[in-house]
Structure 1
Amino acid sequence: MKFDLHTHHTRCGHAEGSIEDYIVAGINAGLDVIGISDHSPYFGSEDDHPNPGITMARSWLPSYVDEVLTLKKKYEGRIEVLLGMESDYFPEHAEAYRTAYELYPFDYLIGSVHFSGGKSIFNRNRWEGLSDVVQAEQKREYYELIRQSALCGMFQILGHIDAMKGYYPAFSDISASESIDLTLQAIAGSQSAIEINTSGKTKTVGGWYPSEAILERALHYGVKVSFGSDSHVPARVGDDWEEVRSTLRAIGFKEWFFYRQKQPVSVPL
């Protein structure tokens, strides 16, 4: 069974194509299951749309859910469409996000840390002039946020857990193995999964998230794995799915998971 749980569309302001475009692309890619998971609104503000070009507006969320559910019925029998969302994780706003999500029948939520230390993890300039000590502190802070996101109980999937390397490949070489292990242990205990996210190939780092070294540690701790292309254009739906499956099997994984009604569905590798 072939699935992709991480796709975006025009509502977030930095992706191309409609939801239906991604569903059709999924059918053409031979998917059995596609998850629609656009960027959540920002619930840390009362403003309707404080971050245009990054997230959808708060007022667009009901229409997003309605459109996904309508398309789920339209394509029934051809492909299973799941209602998801990629959610930011801000500890200080976690309850506001949780309250907003309780109103809707999500199949799964992807919890992604996009901001750490007040800056985007993709900020190309955040590393300039930093000592090795400060770089290690920033990496530990990033993984602490991911650890907290696992423990909060809101998410079925943890998104791109080493994406901070996207525009700074040296991130992987910064010493913080204890923080990564503590985070993986928390994820394993939470019963959520980490995604193998193939969008890193579109960034400077040129590879998947997370690294094979982290996946080997994840297997050691019993962490579940899932798959998401993180497509921002329909042509990337299902990108590298077979290659990821082969890599996971070589590492030693036996299964991976998608989520329906927030329950894990095991798919043999």
Structure 2
Amino acid sequence: MKFDLHTHHFRCGHADGTIRDYIEAAIAAGLDVIGISDHSPYFGSPSEQAFPRIAMAKSELVHYVEEVLSLQKEYEGRIDVLLGMESDFFPEHAELYRKTYSAYPFDYIIGSVHHVEEVSIFNQGRWKGLDPAQRLASKSEYYRLIAESARSGIFQILGHIDAMKGNYPPFSEIAAPKEIDEALRVIGECGPAIEINTSGGTKLCGGWYPSDEILERALHFGVKVSFGSDAHLPSRVADQRNQVAARLKEIGFEYWVYYKRREKVKVAL
């Protein structure tokens, strides 16, 4: 059973292609399951579309859901199309997000921490002028938020849990083993999977998220793993999936998971 659970499309404002384009790309790549998971609106903002180049407008959510469900029926028997969402995690708005999602038949929600101290994790400028203690504090806060997102119970999958290295590769050299282990311990206890996300190859860091070192620690803490290309172009659907599967087996994982109707489905590696 071959799957990719993390894909975007034109509604988020920074991806190319329609939902149909990603489904067709998944079929061409030999997938059995394709998850559509565009970026959630900013529900905590009073604006209709607070960040047009990052996330869909609030009014688009219902159209997004309707389109995915329609295509799900159309492609039945050819590929299993799942309704997902990549959601920001803002602790102060967690209940609003939870309530909003409960109104729709999502198969899964990916919870991603994209902002730390109100600055994007991908903003290279956030690191300028910080001393070592301040850099460690930012990394520690990142993993504290990831742990809190796991505790929230809102998400089936946690997205790209070391993506803060994306445009700042030295992030990986900031030693925070206790903070990372604590986040992985909480994730293991609370149950969401973490994704292996291959979009790191489109950033300065290269490779994928998270690092092998984190995956080895995740196995130790009993964390489940999933897969998402985080495709913003149809051509990236299933990108490096086979290489990821091979590496997970080398590390010691025996299976990975996807979610349908919010229920975990195990797939042997």
Q: Give the TM-score normalised by structure 2.
A: 0.99
> Could you say which residue in structure 2 is the equivalent of 1:236?
236
Q: Does 1:214 align with 2:214?
A: yes
Aligned match of 1:133: 133
Alpha-carbon separation, structure 2, partners of 1:194 and 1:120: 20
Name the residue aligned to 1:70.
70
Q: Distance in 1 between matches of 2:196 and 2:31?
A: 16
Runs (5+) with no aligned partner, structure 2: none
CA distance in 2, matches of 1:77, 1:215: 34
Quote the offset at 1:191 in angstroms. 1.1
Number of aligned residue pairs: 269
> Counterpart of 2:84 in 1: which secondary structure?
strand
Residue 167 (structure 1) aligned with residue 150 (structure 2): no
Following superposition, the deviation at residue 50 of structure 1 comes to 1.2
- Identical pairs, percent: 63
1:1-269 mapped onto 2 (5 Å cutoff): 1-269=1-269
Q: Deviations over 1:203-249 (max 9, x none)?
A: 00011000000000000000000000000000000000000000000
Distance of 1:74 and 1:81 partners within structure 2: 9
For residue 94 of structure 1, report the CA deviation from its aligned partner: 0.6
More displaced, 43-52 or 110-119? Answer: 43-52
Q: Which amino acid aligns with 2:65?
A: V
Q: Aligned AA for 1:266?
A: K
Amino acid at match of 2:132: D
CA drift of 1:48 comes to 1.2
TM superposition shift of 1:185: 0.7
2:267 aligns to what SS in structure 1? strand
In the superposition, the TM-score normalised over structure 1's length comes to 0.99
Distance 1:181 1:126 in 2: 24
Higher deviation after alignment, 40-49 or 234-243:
40-49
Provide Cα deviations, 1:123-161, integer angstroms capped at 9, x if missing partner.
011111211111000000000000000000000000000
Instruction: Determine helix, strand or coil for the equivalent of 1:58.
Output: coil
What displacement does 1:163 show? 0.1
Q: Which amino acid aligns with 2:67?
A: E
Shift of 1:46: 2.5
The letter for the 1-side match of 2:77 is G
Give the counterpart letter for 1:150 in structure 2.
A
User: How far, CA to CA, are the matches of 1:177 and 1:106 in structure 2?
Assistant: 34
Distance 2:45 2:172 in 1: 33
Q: Which portions of structure 1, spanning 4 or more consecutive aligned residues, are displaced by more than 3 angstroms?
A: none
- 1:3-44 Cα distance to aligned partner (Å, 9 max, x none): 000000000000000000000000000000000000000011
SS of residue in 2 equivalent to 1:95? helix
- The CA distance in 1 between the partners of 2:101 and 2:47, in whole Å, is 17
Structure 2 letter corresponding to 1:263: E
Distance in 2 (alpha carbons) for counterparts of 1:102 and 1:178: 34
1:28 maps to amino acid: A
Q: Which digits, 9 at most, give the CA deviation of each residue in 1:175-218, with x for residues without a partner?
A: 11101001001111111100000000000001100000000000
Counterparts of 2:21 and 2:141 in 1: how far apart (Å)?
Answer: 37
CA distance in 1, matches of 2:236, 2:218: 26
Listed as ranges, the gaps of 5+ residues in structure 1 are: none
